[in-house]
Amino acid sequence: MAINRRDFLKVSAGSGLLLASNTSPAVAAPKPLPPEAVGILYDATLCIGCKSCMVNCKKFNSMPGGALYREGGDIPYEHITPEEIYDAPTELSDKTLNIIKAYKSESADGSDADMERYSYIKNHCLHCIDPACASVCPVGALIKDPNDGVVSYDQDKCIGCRYCQIACPFGIPKFEWQETSPKIVKCQLCHHRYKEGNYSACCEYCPTGASIFGKVADLREEAKRRLTLSPGSKYEFPVQTVDSGNRQFKEVGNYLEQIYGMTEAGGTQYLFMSGVPFDKLGFNPNITDQAYPDLTWGYIKKVPVLIVALLIAGAASHVITRRDNLSDSK
């Protein structure tokens, strides 16, 4: 027999490495927007930090169909003690889908002179065009609507493995740790309100137009238009929705040349504009333009080939080495 056991092992190990070597995920062309993709444009230069969006987010999402709805329709406040009920979240949680945070520049030496020193930032699910959370969910509890692109959650499928929490680069999904029958909680862009012709409560109740709702294509156009305006000039900012007749005539802020969400994590349906760099506003600077699901798909798509290769290699090895052994014993 020409092939001995050692050579065979070398060959099989070599072909394994060949298969393995092709793991670096090629940055594939980004996925296109869903046809009717809706989203939010948040302009930090317009935000006054009134938190009306937070209050109304909680109110409307506690109604049937909302992401915070629980039996009885009680609003889930952060703190309920026998003495008092109050709601002062400092971070997204299983009771808070949307949060406004304040940023203040700490530098004393004036190194921040060329940028805004104060900013608010609104944080909630970004509704990625290619969402990591939906791709990793083993039961399809998180799904992206093929039409409007909203990433929503089915609590009856969820097994509570929390892989979505590991996967989401923005740290958005939260888990109901205190429940014996827990859910994953995250913004679903007020999906439950579209049927009656309504839209995201945070935008409907934003008094300044800092958060506006609309088709992502229109929001992108609006954001790009704002970047062409010169700081200090006047512009009619739409309020509530990107195409609303309700407009406010205001001074244009000092924008960074970046629309966060155009390309980040493969693009998101929630876009941000600001005068302060986004890593200072709490965005993880390690987030790349990579569509995250491609990272695991690069491995999974090889699994069928690996299954066949391993079955053949295993069976062949058994046959060859058995023959080897037989001839040895002669």
Helix (H) or strand (E) holding 268, with range, is none
Among the listed residues 81, 181, 228, 233, the single contact to another protein using CB under 8 A: 181
Decide: residue 130, CB within 10 A, 0-12 exposed, 13-18 middle, 19+ buried. Answer: buried
Among the listed residues 27, 102, 227, 310, the single contact to another protein using CB under 8 A: 310
Residue 266 interacts with another protein (CB under 8 A)?
no
Which residues ranging from 290 to 309 are in contact with another protein (CB under 8 A)?
290, 292-293, 295-300, 303, 306-307
Map residue 41 onto helix, strand or coil: strand
**Cβ neighbours of residue 69 under 8 Å, at least 6 residues apart?**
61, 62, 63
Residue 244 interacts with another protein (CB under 8 A)?
no
- Going by DSSP bridges, is the β-strand pair 174-175/184-185 parallel, antiparallel, or unpaired? antiparallel
Q: Is the dihedral of CA 19, 22, 24, 28 positive or negative?
A: negative
Residue 95 interacts with another protein (CB under 8 A)?
no
- Rounded to an integer, what distance in angstroms lies between the CA atom of residue 196 and that of residue 204? 14
Specify whether the CB–CB gap between 37 and 151 falls below 8 A. no
Segment interacting with another protein, rule: CB under 8 A, options 194-202, 215-223, 268-276, 315-323: 315-323
Residue 118 interacts with another protein (CB under 8 A)?
no
Residue 135 interacts with another protein (CB under 8 A)?
yes
- Rounded to an integer, what distance in angstroms lies between the CA atom of residue 60 and that of residue 192? 9
Residue 96 interacts with another protein (CB under 8 A)?
no
CB of 168 to another protein, least distance (A): 9
- If the CB atoms of residues 65 and 171 are measured against another protein, the closer one turns out to be 171
Beta strands in 22-140 (DSSP E): 38-43, 79-80, 85-86, 99-104, 118-123
Among the listed residues 4, 15, 246, 325, the single contact to another protein using CB under 8 A: 325
3-class SS letters over 162-199: CHHHHHCCCCCCEECCCCCCCCEECCCCCHHHCCCCCC
- If the CB atoms of residues 111 and 286 are measured against another protein, the closer one turns out to be 286
Residue 14 interacts with another protein (CB under 8 A)?
no
Specify whether the CB–CB gap between 260 and 283 falls below 8 A. yes
- Rounded to an integer, what distance in angstroms lies between the CA atom of residue 309 and that of residue 139? 28
Among the listed residues 166, 207, 247, 251, the single contact to another protein using CB under 8 A: 166
Segment interacting with another protein, rule: CB under 8 A, options 26-34, 215-223, 238-246, 285-293: 285-293
Among the listed residues 99, 158, 187, 273, the single contact to another protein using CB under 8 A: 158
- Going by DSSP bridges, is the β-strand pair 38-43/270-273 parallel, antiparallel, or unpaired? parallel
Residue 136 interacts with another protein (CB under 8 A)?
yes
Segment interacting with another protein, rule: CB under 8 A, options 97-105, 111-119, 223-231, 320-328: 320-328
204: phi then psi, degrees, rounded to nearest 5 = -60, -35
CB of 27 to another protein, least distance (A): 12
Site string for another protein, 54-73 (x = CB under 8 A): --------------------
Residue 171 interacts with another protein (CB under 8 A)?
yes
CB of 26 to another protein, least distance (A): 11
- Rounded to an integer, what distance in angstroms lies between the CA atom of residue 254 and that of residue 260? 15
- If the CB atoms of residues 15 and 325 are measured against another protein, the closer one turns out to be 325
Residue 15 interacts with another protein (CB under 8 A)?
no
- Rounded to an integer, what distance in angstroms lies between the CA atom of residue 107 and that of residue 95? 34
Positions that interact with another protein (CB under 8 A): 5, 9, 20, 23-25, 91-93, 132, 135-140, 157-163, 165-167, 169, 171, 174-182, 284, 286-288, 290, 292-293, 295-300, 303, 306-307, 310-311, 314-315, 317-318, 321-322, 324-325
